[in-house]
């Protein structure tokens, strides 16, 4: 089977080899306070900084998932007021997380499948944290980074956080303009689920320190201050997913050998093939109409006759795609376009649609 599902997705081609190496070297049994473990984390962090061009000003934290990252960010960066751009299920989850943590969360919401007109959007002055889902996995909408940078310039005192769960490592982020970003590894990195990564800038750390001094609850062992204390030593507060961190480091090494320029070019070429096919199809059409908002990594397609039969047909032919998310389940399919799937695999999928 070739998996085009948007998470968990197709394993990166080298994962099985690295898994064998990890078991042979008893990596899952390593103490998270050992020098060997620190070497693994150091290698993974250094590789990730190089791969995504992360400045040394930003700390890298390991958590359990992207969903956990949402909760930690709100706890550590918001006294009262957060603001959320919503156009799908995962951006809405971020908003709901803030509500459940008893924050005064406000939102600007558009219909699923649409992007935002940032030039006409005014963020309330009292906002502390502005939340974006750069690539909405549920709908296949991607936000142009240049528009986010411009909005940050206009609201420099506010913290900007970016969900890049289904666009990393493809998306290029200028972290000088982003205070926090996060992703999980089971999508673009082609790894087993169970590991989230947070990239946290100095202003977000400073806000956590401010809240802690005020006596605000910023969480326990996974608050930013605790995470940073251990991250500075290439450790974690608790026993972590050592195997996941090891595999991430190895896959990052493979991606560095291939080069992000090549990975991004291939991603765009594969996306162009898929969109060209569906733009010309007489029944199946892309859900996202405006091309500037079309995701390169999650392609959503409207299936008027129902998604179930198409998913089943493709499965019988050796391809696993996902149905639409939530209320879109019956009328859409989602096709992941991550680095783990080759251009040849995409052409085969298209030929068998």
Per residue in 311-333, pLDDT (tens digit) is 999 999 999 999 999 999 999 99
pLDDT of 237 > 90? The answer is yes
Q: Give tens-digit pLDDT for 5-50.
A: 999 999 999 999 999 999 999 999 999 999 999 999 999 999 999 9
Tokens of 27: 């990596």
Query: Which whole number is the average pLDDT over 187-199?
Result: 98
Domain match, 226 and 293 both: no
Q: Are strands 81-86 and 129-133 parallel, antiparallel or unpaired?
A: parallel
- The enclosing domain of 181 has a CATH number of 3.40.640.10
Domain match, 202 and 234 both: yes
Map tokens 């992703």 to a residue: 183
Domain match, 347 and 247 both: no
Domain match, 159 and 269 both: no
Query: What confidence category does residue 1 fall into, taking pLDDT thresholds of 50, 70 and 90?
Result: very high
What pLDDT was estimated at residue 189?
Answer: 98
Domain match, 242 and 218 both: yes
Query: Which whole number is the average pLDDT over 129-151?
Result: 97
Tokens of 15: 């994962």
Boundary residue ending a domain (230, 256, 282): 256
Domain match, 234 and 343 both: no
CB-neighbour burial class of residue 20 (10 A; exposed 0-12, middle 13-18, buried 19+): exposed
Domain match, 105 and 161 both: yes
Query: What confidence category does residue 120 fall into, taking pLDDT thresholds of 50, 70 and 90?
Result: confident
Greater confidence, 29 or 119? 29
Boundary residue ending a domain (256, 290, 305): 256
What pLDDT was estimated at residue 121?
Answer: 79
Boundary residue ending a domain (196, 222, 256): 256
**Residues 54, 59, 62: CA angle, nearest 5 degrees:** 105
Query: What confidence category does residue 307 fall into, taking pLDDT thresholds of 50, 70 and 90?
Result: very high
Q: Report percent pLDDT > 70 for the chain.
A: 100
Domain match, 235 and 114 both: yes
pLDDT of 351 > 90? The answer is yes
Buried b (16+ CB within 10 A) or exposed e, 138-151: bbbbbbebebbeeb
Alpha-carbon span 29 to 5, nearest angstrom: 31
Q: Model pTM greater than 0.85? A: yes
Domain match, 80 and 227 both: yes
Domain match, 171 and 303 both: no
Domain count, the chain: 2
Query: Which whole number is the average pLDDT over 231-243?
Result: 97
Alpha-carbon span 298 to 306, nearest angstrom: 19
Query: Which whole number is the average pLDDT over 268-291?
Result: 97
Domain match, 242 and 324 both: no
Query: Which whole number is the average pLDDT over 78-98?
Result: 98
What pLDDT was estimated at residue 8?
Answer: 96
Tokens of 268: 């765009």
- Cβ pair 12, 254 in contact under 8 A: yes
Domain match, 192 and 268 both: no
Q: Mean pLDDT in the chain?
A: 97
What pLDDT was estimated at residue 119?
Answer: 82
- Cβ pair 94, 238 in contact under 8 A: no
- Residue span of the structural domain in which 338 resides: 2-8+259-351
Query: What confidence category does residue 143 fall into, taking pLDDT thresholds of 50, 70 and 90?
Result: very high
Tokens of 193: 């689920």
- The enclosing domain of 275 has a CATH number of 3.90.1150.10
pLDDT of 193 > 90? The answer is yes
């Amino acid at each position: 089977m070739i998996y085009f599902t948007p998470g968990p997705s197709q394993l990166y081609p080298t994962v099985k080899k690295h898994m064998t190496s990890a078991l042979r070297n008893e990596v899952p049994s390593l103490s998270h306070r050992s020098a060997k473990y620190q070497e693994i984390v150091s290698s993974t962090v250094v590789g990730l900084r190089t791969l995504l061009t992360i400045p040394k000003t930003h700390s890298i934290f390991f958590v359990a998932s992207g969903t956990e990252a949402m909760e930690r960010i709100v706890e550590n960066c918001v006294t009262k007021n957060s603001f959320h751009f919503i156009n799908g299920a995962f951006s809405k989850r971020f908003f709901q997380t803030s509500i459940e943590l008893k924050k005064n969360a406000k939102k600007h919401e558009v219909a699923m499948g649409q992007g935002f007109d940032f030039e006409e959007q005014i963020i309330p002055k009292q906002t502390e944290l502005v939340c974006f889902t750069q690539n909405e996995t549920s709908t296949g909408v991607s936000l142009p980074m240049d528009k986010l940078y411009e909005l940050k310039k206009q609201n420099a005192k506010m913290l900007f956080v970016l969900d890049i769960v289904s666009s990393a490592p493809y998306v290029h982020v200028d972290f000088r303009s982003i205070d926090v970003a996060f992703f999980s590894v089971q999508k673009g990195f082609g790894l087993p689920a169970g590991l989230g990564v947070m990239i946290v800038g100095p202003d977000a750390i400073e806000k956590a320190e401010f809240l802690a001094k005020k006596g605000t609850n910023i969480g326990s062992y996974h608050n930013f201050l605790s995470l940073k204390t251990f991250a500075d030593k290439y450790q974690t507060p608790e026993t972590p997913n050592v195997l996941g961190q090891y595999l991430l480091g190895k896959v990052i090494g493979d991606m560095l050998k291939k080069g992000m320029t090549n990975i991004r070019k291939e991603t765009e070429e594969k996306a162009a093939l898929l969109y060209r096919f569906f733009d010309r199809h007489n029944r199946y059409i892309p859900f996202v109409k405006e091309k500037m908002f079309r995701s390169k990594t999650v392609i959503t397609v409207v299936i008027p006759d129902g998604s179930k039969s198409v998913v089943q047909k493709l499965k019988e032919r050796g391809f696993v795609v996902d149905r639409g998310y939530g209320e879109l389940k019956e009328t859409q399919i989602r096709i992941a376009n991550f680095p783990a799937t080759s251009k040849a695999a995409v052409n085969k999928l298209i030929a068998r649609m």
